[in-house]
Amino acid sequence: MSSKTIALTFDDLPHPLYTPLLLDLLHREGVRATLFVIGRNALAYPYFVRDMVLEGHELGNHSYTHQRFLTLNLATIQGEVLRTNAVLQRLSGQSIHLIRPPGGRLNSSISRELRDLGMDVVFWTDDPGDYLRFKPETLEARLETRFKPGAIVLLHDNVPETLETLPQFLRYVRARGFSVGSVSALFASPAPVHKP
């Protein structure tokens, strides 16, 4: 893992109004992020999922109905995960192995079930609470004060203040010599350099 990289992640996609704005912003900024997609939303707006793939973003599973896993039995959780994976794989042509459970809470039984399904759970290290709809300057300050090397930043696509704040945050990060990418990019090991 590179200490000069952070991962940008977004939950709850796609949203019919905000996802196109987010994808356009990320395109203009040259950022490829990890996007955690709700299965029923993907089914309702399949063209946005295809756009995510065309833009080179990494897709993750965020359940089918966005119910908290701790409130569900294991059979229902399995259905939520497999149904979402099937939708995303059909739309993207990619195998889905990343998952972020809604609310980010699990117990050992659920963790084991997800592992048995071949899923890698992705939490976060930096949650500025954008869903609380802070003013852009407050959200920017929360992002900057929580920023650290190797961070996995949790944001949402359906928060206008996030879209307004993101370019300033990216400038802040890049001015400090950091690159911004997906979760997989964060954990990719750089190839060793051998000199003769």
Model confidence pLDDT, tens digit, residues 150-159 = 999 999 999 9
pLDDT digits (tens, 9 = 90+) for 45-82: 999 999 999 999 999 999 999 999 999 999 999 999 99
Neighbours of 108 (CB within 10 A): 7
In this model, does residue 192 exceed pLDDT 70? no
Say whether pLDDT at 146 is over 90. Answer: no
- 127 is annotated as an active-site residue: no
pLDDT(149) > 60: yes
Q: What is the pLDDT of residue 187?
A: 87
DSSP letter at 93? Answer: S
pLDDT tens profile 116-133: 999 999 999 999 999 999
Task: Name which residue leads in pLDDT, 147 or 48.
Answer: 48
Token pair, residue 96, equals: 């889905």
Q: Is 194 a catalytic residue?
A: no
From the candidates 66, 156, 157, 194, give the one annotated as an active-site residue. 156
Question: Cα 28 vs. chain centroid, distance in angstroms?
Answer: 18
- Residue with structure tokens 């089918």? 64
69, HSE (Cβ side, Cα atoms, 13 Å): 28
SS in 3 state form for 108-177? HHHHHHHHHCCCEECCCCECCCHHHCCCHHHHHHHHHHHCCCCCEEEEECCCHHHHHHHHHHHHHHHHCC
Residue 2 has pLDDT above 60, yes or no: no
pLDDT > 90 fraction of the chain, expressed in percent and rounded: 90
Catalytic residue among 11, 12, 126, 157: 11
Domain 5-186 has CATH 3.30.70.120: no
